[in-house]
Amino acid sequence: MALEDRTCSERDVEAALVVLGTAARRVPAASWPLGLGDLDQSGLYSWTVDEPGARALSAGLREHVPAGLIYAGQAGATAWPSGKVRAATLRSRIGANHVRGRIRGSTFRLTLAAALLEPLEVSPVAALRLERAAEERLSQWIGEHLHVATLPFPDRDRLRDLEHRVLAALDPPLNLDGMAPTPTREALSLARARLGSGRPRADQRTVAWPEAVVADRWAKPACPFCGRLAQDLLADEPLAVAFDDAYPVSKGHALVVPRRHEPDLFALSEEEQAAIWRLVNAVQSSLRKELRPHGFNVGVNSGVVAGQTVPHAHVHVIPRYRGDVHDPRGGIRWVKPDLARYWSQ
């Protein structure tokens, strides 16, 4: 599909900002869906919080979160560049995933749980898993403090572009992917890391990222990987994602990257590195079952002198097939061709 067929109009953006920024289609989460129509299709949604809820979020993140708009997203957008059609609707995403779901199936619930770790006494029992009582407390909190607005938008092919432009205009404080750095988002990112690790709060290592580093290394619009954090993913976790390499050297060549824009793999937190290697294993297992390769190269180019061309840390997972090169001996040693043939020296 041509790029212009995936791009929404300025009128679409203006209409979305009016609907999502006003109370016209906003209902209490506890009363969802309260007579709203046109929910069995794709579209945008936005979440607002009342004053008591905002105080709880501020206390949990130790950063000020004002009452009002806190989060926005989409349901059912076509995944580009693959063109895969998503089946989600506003009804299923909001009702089944956000209001009554689990943090593993809802980025929004995960975000709230991370921000409310202390106020709601939330503690993970495993990576991305809360005990049932904690999920119920979270659902109750959502019902007591949040309202949701919806904008049906049946053009799934243009919905992703509409979401990006609306988020840029509204700048909800709890949205992370591709958003400008703020102290609130950094605090939220670290809190989500705690849930992603599956370890209780008391066992967590606190990572304080210097403000200058955060400002310099957060998701940049020009980064080709930051632009793919929600598109056609092979696998994902709160702190890392996997997707196909845009310039594959082998069938199935995949990349695993952190969600946070950080050039240096070794500067990532322990939780982020653990998430990356869990996904490396998950991707390798999936590729082995699907493509039946005869081996794998798994590698990292860290630094310009090591061949890194994209300044966003990433791990290559490259399936290898018998006969794909004349002589595979030496593998990664061929980064220094003159020294690769150690067996002949």
User: Which residues carry out catalysis?
Assistant: 314
- Residue 10 phi, psi dihedral angles, 5° rounding: -60, -35
The CA-based dihedral angle spanning residues 161, 165, 167, 171, taken in that order and rounded to the nearest 10 degrees? 160
Cβ neighbours for 72, distance < 8 A, ≥ 6 positions apart: 20, 44, 45, 46, 47, 163, 166, 167, 170, 172, 175
- Among 151, 114, 172, 149, which residue's Cα sits nearest to residue 29? 149
Q: Would you call 165 helix, strand, or coil by DSSP?
A: helix
Residues 277 and 256: their CA atoms lie apart, in Å, by 8
- Would you state the structure tokens that stand for residue 23, as one six-digit string? 């109370």
- Would you state the structure tokens that stand for residue 56, as one six-digit string? 């709880």
Helix, strand and coil in the chain, % to nearest 5: 45, 15, 40
- Amino acid letter at 281? N
Residues 71 and 295: their CA atoms lie apart, in Å, by 43
Q: In the chain, how many H helices and how many E strands? A: 10, 11
Burial zone of 204 (CB within 10 Å; 0-12 exposed, 13-18 middle, 19+ buried): middle
- Would you state the structure tokens that stand for residue 208, as one six-digit string? 């304080």
